[in-house]
Amino acid sequence: MTANPRVPIEEGYFTIPDGDEPPRLLGSRCVACDEHFFPRREVCAKCLHRQTDDVTLSPMGTLYTWTYLHVPLFGSQRAENGYGVGQIDLPEGPRVQSVLQGGPGDFAVGMEMQMELETLRQNEEGEDVVIFRFRPNADAAGGAS
C-alpha cells in the first residue's frame, strides 16, 4: 500500500515532510526584538518592526489548557463523535490553538505535546487533505499511548 500525496487544508501554516521528520508550524521571528509568532506575520505585534524572518517552530510544546467537544470534527471522517481542542505553548513563545489527538481522559495541563498531521479526507485528485494536531508525547509520559 502506497501513501497518497498529502496536501495541507490551507497553505502557509505547517510543513508536510516526506520522511521521518516531524511536521512543523510555519512561524515568523521579528528581526528587531526576536519575538516569535504563529501564524506568520510581516509586522511584529510586539514592537511593530516591519521586518520578520520566516522560521519553522518546534514540533513539541506544553499543554496550556484544553477542552473536549462532544460533536464531530468538521470536515473529518473520524469515527468518534468528539474531539479535544487545546492551546499549546511552544518553546519559542507562541501559544497555538490546535485539535488534539486522544480522548477526554488523555490530557492534563502542563503535559508535553507533540505535533503531527491528521488526514481529514481525500480530495478529487486522490490526495490526502491534512491538518495539524497535537497529541500527548508518549515518550515523555512513560509510554502511555
The footprint of Zn ion (CB under 5 A) covers: 30, 32-33, 35, 44, 46-47, 49
- Across the strands, what pairs with 68? 84
Q: How far is the CB of 133 from Zn ion (least distance, A)?
A: 29
Q: Which stretches does DSSP call E strand in 1-145?
A: 6-8, 26-30, 36-37, 52-56, 60-69, 83-89, 95-100, 112-122, 128-136
Q: How far is the CB of 73 from Zn ion (least distance, A)?
A: 35
Choice between 32 and 141, CB closer to Zn ion? 32
CA separation for the pair 63, 96 (Å, rounded): 10
Q: How far is the CB of 49 from Zn ion (least distance, A)?
A: 4
Choice between 46 and 121, CB closer to Zn ion? 46
Choice between 45 and 138, CB closer to Zn ion? 45
Q: How far is the CB of 13 from Zn ion (least distance, A)?
A: 21
Q: State the residue for C-alpha cell 520566516.
A: 54
H/E stretch holding 88: strand 83-89
- Across the strands, what pairs with 28? 37, 54
Choice between 46 and 95, CB closer to Zn ion? 46
* Residue closest to 9 by CA, chosen among 131, 97, 132: 131
